[in-house]
């Protein structure tokens, strides 16, 4: 099995580039997806560069629509092809990332996964998990978005409180 952990120098370089990117751009916008399978499982990813399990997603590039960014990130992070129209769940201010960061969250129920997604330099693991049995390391913000989508919680304005 391939070792996907970053060396300390690589981690420092990625951190520095990420900080530069956050401070050098205007408002930033990202997309995430709550991908729900018919058997009440949700798709999550675990990155090599940050702890915890997260909803799949990423940044929206200049000239890219939210829908296009969502489709691109799901293909890249999960080999997931959107077949129906995703539903916008909400847009959240991520004040912990920066004072200019927002995340649009979509619910994707009509999709197909072309193949399981293996580990690489960016993703350590991916998978579908029962809603009642999420990994212990699932982040609070990820748990909150899932609870909003499948439960009775009302979305708040912030990515995490």
> What is the CATH number for 127?
3.90.79.10
Provide the number of structural domains found in the chain.
1
Say if 19 falls within a structural domain: no
Please give the full DSSP string across 113-160, using - where no structure is assigned.
ESSPPPP-SSEEEEEEEETTS--TTB-HHHHHHHHHHHSSPPP-SBS-
Residues 84-114: tens digit of each pLDDT: 999 999 999 887 766 778 899 999 999 999 9
Residue 34 to residues 132, 139, 156, Cα–Cα distance (Å): 15, 14, 16
Domain that holds residue 108: 27-150
pTM of the model: 0.82
Say if 155 falls within a structural domain: no
Phi, psi of 68 (to 5 degrees): -65, -40
CB atoms < 10 A from the CB of 144, how many?
Answer: 19
Say if 13 falls within a structural domain: no
Q: Is the pLDDT of residue 23 over 70?
A: no
Say if 156 falls within a structural domain: no
Say if 17 falls within a structural domain: no
């Amino acid at each position: 099995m391939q070792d996907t952990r970053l060396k300390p120098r690589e981690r420092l370089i990625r951190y520095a580039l990420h900080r530069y990117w956050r401070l050098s751009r205007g408002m930033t916008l990202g997309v995430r997806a709550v991908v729900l399978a018919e058997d009440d499982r949700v798709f999550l990813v675990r990155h090599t560069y940050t702890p915890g399990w997260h909803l799949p997603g990423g940044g929206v590039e200049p000239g890219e629509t939210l829908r296009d960014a969502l489709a691109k990130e799901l293909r890249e992070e999960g080999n997931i092809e959107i077949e129906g129209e995703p539903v916008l769940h909400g847009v959240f201010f991520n004040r912990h990332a920066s004072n200019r960061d927002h995340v649009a969250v979509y619910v994707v129920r009509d999709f197909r996964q072309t193949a399981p997604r293996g580990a690489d330099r960016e993703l350590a693991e991916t998978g579908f998990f029962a809603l009642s049995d999420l990994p212990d390391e699932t982040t609070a913000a990820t748990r909150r978005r899932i609870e909003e989508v499948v439960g009775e919680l009302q979305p708040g304005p912030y990515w995490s409180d």
